[in-house]
Amino acid sequence: IYKVLRQSKDPLVQESFGELLSIRRRIAALGGAELKSEKPKMYKKQMAQLVEQKNVLEGKLSRLSKAFAQTQKNKQADAVMVARALPQDAVLIDLARVVMADFKNFKRASPHYIAFIVHAGRGEDVAMVDLGNADAIDKMVSLFRQELASHSANYAETARALYAQLVKPLKEALGNARQLFISPDGPLNLIPFEALQTPDGRFLLEDYRLSYLTAGRDVLRFGKPRHKKNKALLMGDPNFAMGHKQKVVTLAQLAVQNHSENMQTRSFEMDKLHFKRLAGTLEEIKEIQALLGPEHASLYSGDRALEEVLWQHENPHIVHLATHGFFLKDQDLSALPPGPQQRGFIKITRPKKRRPGRIRIENPMLRSGLALAGANHKAEENAGDGLLTAEEVVGLSLDETELVVLSACETGLGKVTVGEGVFGLRRAFIEAGVASLVMSLWQVPDKETRELMTAFYKRLLHDKLPRAEALRQAILEQIQRVKDRYGHRNPFYWAAFVLAGEANRPL
């Protein structure tokens, strides 16, 4: 959507699009602003006004721009259109959490998960499979996530139970397909289907290529040409402790503008967040730069790993961000410190007693993001704060970007909304125009992350494999490495990273 608007030559479209970006930035800024005891009602009123202005502008753009209107129509795509866009050996599994109706007793029954199966070229032959009680499945999903993220050796029993519940009933409908495009719903967004196990102990990844969609209609975006191939942008090992004075010097050295209108104001309580240095990420991005070639990749680390650099670089061919992620559940913050040598993830939870005058952030796009240089210091006026939120990501110029890799913790998470997927970094980068996104679902050990990422890029660049197969081969290689190193194949070490978006095209 943003791509066609940026490329429009209609001055009215450009003017309205500029206003829309400005509104989204103001929403991000308001979401991070300090809320004092007298401000909650004012905050809600201002946020409602900005959201209404955003909706009005989007409606205006639909009327002004035929291309934008067409992208809106794509949201109403039918199964025939989707089937035509699927690769030859692929199947779409569109999962929906629905409330069943008990017509016999005239009441609502328990919610169920329903799977709709669409084969390539067979849009008029859609299979529907009832997978069972959604509440019971959600409990298994929650347990599975806990087991994976905590490195539990007891994961196998749950992995096989979920396979029996979610995959086995689909085997007949899947036929001979070897690639699965999965559009999850509800909490199913939060697990890697790759780690589900057959009764004989095989992981689903060993039998299928998997990738994820926010909605089945996303396949209609596949295969569209991207005309620019700018240098890749690699960021890692940010200096979270960098102060404002050093930032001003660094911006001048890089000849990068401040772009203060893009930045959000630091919340008073966000000052309590503290991110530890990730020294291993510097080696990771150096290895990737060597694979890409220094002439094809710009590397930014330490003081140079700034959010302003992201705003300055339009449409990098690849964006690789190796840093901490964060996910905010509430405006009142309590930080969980990251474990040693992990891509630390700061989770924000609601306190038992809400402090007077504090209210929840209601925009889920403000709840997740990435920490960059200066994130441990309170932002000065008219300066970025080192925290890049999902709301800010949507405004980045990435509509010609082929691949974004978020080598950080739980970047695939966000607010789970039934029927709408996950709002957060996942949704933000796709909305910004990125073709493919690799992201994580839990805290990732630093050493294994470096190994997996290096193997992934080797498969992409040297073997010229399509994106989903490149990640699959890298993970299979990592599984063997983990087995040789630790004597087991625990998915904790290899299953966190998943691919969303376009899967079948080489870089």
pLDDT, averaged per 10 consecutive residues of the chain (507 residues), comes to 61 78 72 52 77 80 63 68 93 91 69 96 94 96 93 95 98 96 92 97 97 90 81 96 92 79 43 77 95 96 95 94 77 37 46 45 69 80 70 87 85 52 74 91 85 96 96 98 97 95 92
Q: Do you know the residue count of the chain?
A: 507
> Residue 26 has what pLDDT?
73
> Residue 6 has what pLDDT?
63
Give CA–CA dist 147/191, Å, rounded. Answer: 11
> Residue 9 has what pLDDT?
66
Q: What is the pLDDT of residues 98-117, one digit of tens each?
A: 987 666 666 667 899 999 99
Q: What is the pLDDT of residues 368-391, one digit of tens each?
A: 788 999 998 765 544 557 888 888
Buried (b) or exposed (e) across 355-369, using 16+ Cβ within 10 A? eeebbebebbbbbbb
> Given the structure tokens 């240089």, which residue do they identify?
373
Q: Provide the CB-side half-sphere exposure for 6 (13 A, CA).
A: 15
Helix/strand/coil for 476: helix
Q: Which tokens go with 131? A: 């997978």
Give CA–CA dist 154/362, Å, rounded. Answer: 36
> Residue 380 has what pLDDT?
52
Residue 355: DSSP 8-state: P
> Residue 428 has what pLDDT?
87
- Residues whose CB falls within 8 Å of the CB of residue 334, separated by 6 or more in sequence, listed in order: 348, 349, 351
Q: Exposed, middle or buried, 103 (CB in 10 Å: 0-12/13-18/19+)?
A: exposed
> Residue 271 has what pLDDT?
53
Give CA–CA dist 112/130, Å, rounded. Answer: 7
Amino acid at residue number 113: Y
Give CA–CA dist 491/493, Å, rounded. Answer: 5
